[in-house]
Structure 1
Amino acid sequence: MQKEELVYQDNHFTLDTYWLDPISDYATQVERPIVIICPGGGFKFHSDREAQPIALKFNAAGMHAIVLHYQLVDENHSVYPLALQEMATTLNWLKSQKDVHHIDLQKVILNGYSAGGHLVADFNSIMLDSDRRIKVFEDDLKVIPAVNILGYPVIDMTVGWPIEEDWAMKIAPDIYYWQAQEHLTKNGKPTFIWQTVTDGTVPVMNSILYAQKMDILNIPYELHLFGSGDHGLSLATYVTQNPGNAVNLNEYDAKWWDLCINWLKMQKILPKL
């Protein structure tokens, strides 16, 4: 893993990059898909359980991976719109890395968990519509994501999370950014969504609302709602288990990963074999 520092209008932020090295046996190098991962953490921190372990799983499936350390709530900043601007800056930066790391820029994936899922959903809704994007990010968007993957995402900050409205105001003083589903247009990209119906932190209605809006707009999606399991499962295996914490394990929910890989093949991000 290597760290990369990027800047948007004097605001510095970091990426953890997990590049796949070229294979010397190949006569021609393969251009590989890349995923930008946005961990959860309630906009207070970036969960390591949804960072490196996820990145390495994508690496093992033949994809480059980046963990975006997007803007959190602090004494000087709210999350929005700066986090959207950081994501756009990261996507534009990828163009400069295309030949260096053999990236297929037609196969860029945005992946968010919990609060990070809200960032990805908001980006899909707001930043892929040129008229709305220009109000947030003045530069052209040189690289457009192909698909999204959302794990137990916050979609609508008026539906169960956060509980305190004052925290929502700290995340985004402008309520325009609160409800990702309200701004989704036909420019949104296909999205894989998974959550548990027993999620005690982010109500499952968040995932349903986003899928419902995608359905109305005829945007391809796949929604998996598992019958049991806690919030923040990550891979739901021992790899991301907080030692001694049994609620991090769920053999049924862990199947989300294989379902997701299958969906990426359906979307032609990955080859069938």
Structure 2
Amino acid sequence: MLNQKVYLSSGAYFETYIMDSEINYREYRKRPAIIVAPGGAYAIHATKESEPVALQFLQMGYQTFVLKYSVGSDRAHPEKGILKGAKYPLQVQEMLETIHIVKQNAEQWNIDANQVFLMGFSAGGHVCASCGVRWDDSKIVEKLNFVPIGNELKVKGIVLGYPFLTPNTQEFTDQHKIEGVEKVQDIMNYVLYQTNEPTNQQIQNVDLLNYISASSVPMFIWHSIDDPVVDSRNSTRFISKLLDFEIPCEYHLFGHGEHGKSLENQLTHIKDNEIDLHLNQWVKLAKQWMERIGSE
């Protein structure tokens, strides 16, 4: 297996988890690929939404990559305060550059270039979904350090777990005071708006509902009704608007799961009795969806 870091022009990087193409003696195949964007409120990279997810889907037959996009803090050096360079949509440009590199190296990395998917969680879902609805947005594409060829930046499909897609209403925020979220709210506000008091226009600029169009990428979304961090109703609205444009999609709204649960298996839990096997079903459902979308 090839495991290495590949640095991007911004200084961010992605990690590779690449299997050999030989699946049996003198039998070879190119594999589909998934680029993972972990969550973390644009402040950190959530550990259990990074390598564990890559390994889960690696053993399911995918070449996997984990993008460590630019965030607003340095976990190892908190004394640095908010990192001023990590302004959205830089993270989208980083993901688009990653897509470009993966497709450019498809032959070397044993990848079917027509079978590249994105997978994002929470804030990482905002990065991936942004690529899904803004992959051809000139305001972003013109800032890339390369010229994309044709539709190379449009991936086959995107899987999103409890994604941040549109800012929560003030009413939802007031009803759900989460200590961990409040601690990083200033960082997230800076990354998205560069202020703690964004104007309506600044909020609309990061609201992905405003970018859905007929050219948007097919999406699979799973969420939980009791998520206290990201309002699940926002995912419902997002899916509804994708349907307005006849974009292929699938939506699973679980009755319980809260936020940040990732895989819900032995890769992300120490004790087996703490695993939510019902919520874990999203893994198989997402794989089946990607296989169906990939065959179309």
Q: TM-score, normalised by structure 2?
A: 0.81
| Deviations, residues 185-209 of structure 1 (Å, cap 9, x unaligned) | 1111111100110111111012112
Comparing 139-148 with 156-165, greater Cα deviation is found at 156-165
Task: Report what 1:172 is aligned to.
Answer: 192
Task: Specify the alignment match of 1:18 in structure 2.
Answer: 17
CA distance in 1: counterparts of 2:224 and 2:138, whole angstroms: 35
Tell me which residue corresponds to 1:235.
263
CA contact (8 A) 1:29 1:102 kept: no
**2 CA distance for matches of 1:41 and 1:12?**
19
- Which residue number in structure 2 is paired with residue 265 of structure 1? 291
The correspondence of residues 110-189 of structure 1 with structure 2, limited to 5 A, is 110-127=118-135, 129-137=136-144, 139-142=146-149, 143=152, 144-159=154-169, 160=172, 167-173=187-193, 174-175=202-203, 177-189=205-217
Aligned to 1:40: 39
Measured after TM superposition, the shift of residue 13 of structure 1 is 1.3
CA distance in 2, matches of 1:206, 1:107: 28
Give per-residue Cα distances to partners, 1:50-77, cap 9 Å, x unaligned: 1111111111111100000001014222
Distance 1:96 1:136 in 2: 19
Alignment of 1:57-76 (within 5 A): 57-73=56-72, 74-76=82-84
SS at match of 2:132: helix
Percent of pairs identical after alignment?
27
Which sections of structure 1, spanning at least 5 residues, go unmatched? none
**Would the aligned equivalents of 2:167 and 2:203 in 1 still touch at CA under 8 Å?**
no
Cα 1:169–1:69, aligned 2, differ >3 Å: closer, same or farther?
A: same
Query: CA, structure 1 residues 239+176, in 2 after alignment: closer, same or farther (shift >3 Å)?
Result: same
2:108 counterpart residue number: 100
Deviation string 1:4-40 (CA, Å, 9 cap, x unpaired) is: 23232xx211211100112164546311111000001
SS in 1 for 2:12: strand
Contact 1:5 1:12 in 2 (8 A): no
Aligned in 2, Cα 1:158/1:168: closer, same or farther, shift over 3 Å?
A: farther
Partner residue, 1:2:
3
Partners of 1:110 and 1:120 within 8 A in 2? yes
Q: How many residues align?
A: 265
- 1:54 is matched with which residue? 53
Structure 1, 205-214 or 153-162: larger mean CA deviation: 153-162
Contact map agreement 1:3 1:14 (CA 8 A) in 2:
no
Specify whether residues 138 and 25 from structure 1 end up closer, same or farther in structure 2 by C-alpha distance, changes over 3 A only. Answer: closer
Unaligned 5+ runs, structure 2: 73-81, 174-180, 194-201
Moved more, 156-165 or 186-195: 156-165
